[in-house]
Chain A
Amino acid sequence: QVHLVQSGAELKKPGSSVRVSCKVSGGTLANIAISWVRQAPGQGLEWIGGVIPMLNRTNYAPNFQDKLTISADESSTTVFMELTSLRSDDTALYYCALEIEGSPTRFDPWGQGSLITVSS
């Protein structure tokens, strides 16, 4: 069974960058996509972007085109998310989620979440 394990919580200064990892254990990156979804404190879910490692294709939500980079390392079955120019409103729990190829929005399973706090 596939599990997603994310890196830990981070405290960042405004204007800095953060890199979050998501390791896919119990499977490979073939025939899957990995999406990133964030949830600000007390708020709803927001899809920010995703990657299809086998096709080396990334997709970003329009508001994140200029500040988000998603990459994948097939050898370590790990996907990375880098968010730049951090602001206080980027404070959120960031989840990675597996998506079966051919079934968009079918996110299952999810990682445990990585809390990113942006504060001076």
Chain B
Amino acid sequence: QSALTQPASVSGSPGQSITISCSGTNSDIGDYNFVSWYQQNGGTIPKLIIYEVNKRPSGVSDRFSGSKSGNTASLTISGLQPEDEADYYCCSYAGSEIFVVFGGGTKLTIL
């Protein structure tokens, strides 16, 4: 069982927007602004798409955005494209005893 809770799957049609939630506690997401999101296509190396809640690394499309409210972080993908079909993982810092926790991952299917 993962420390952070994500929906197992979401789906959307090309051009639509979807949001993936990531639920934690006041010891991880709720206490730190160190939430990141990773995209993983078919067993390839995970790719960083959001860090520090809402920052995008250079080269990542602005269709990807992150936010946080209380103990829940969210990843929104707007203008869905076929190449967005992938697994998405959230990740949060959790203090000096647990350190880092991941969500169980969400499979995004483009209809």
Contact = CB atoms under 8 A, between A and B. Distances in A.
A10 to B, nearest CB: 19
Interface stretch (A16-24, A68-76, A83-91, A104-112): A104-112
Contact of B97 (A47, A62, A110, A113): A62
B48 interface: yes
B21 to A, nearest CB: 16
A44 interface: yes
A47 B100 contact: yes
A58 to B, nearest CB: 11
A103 B34 contact: yes
Interface of A: 35, 37, 44-47, 50, 59, 61-62, 95, 103-108, 110-113
A46 B102 contact: yes
Given A105-B93, A110-B45, A44 B105 contact: yes
B111 interface: no
Interface in B26-84: 32, 34-36, 38, 40, 45-46, 48, 51-52, 57
B2 A110 contact: no
Contacts of A103: 34, 51-52
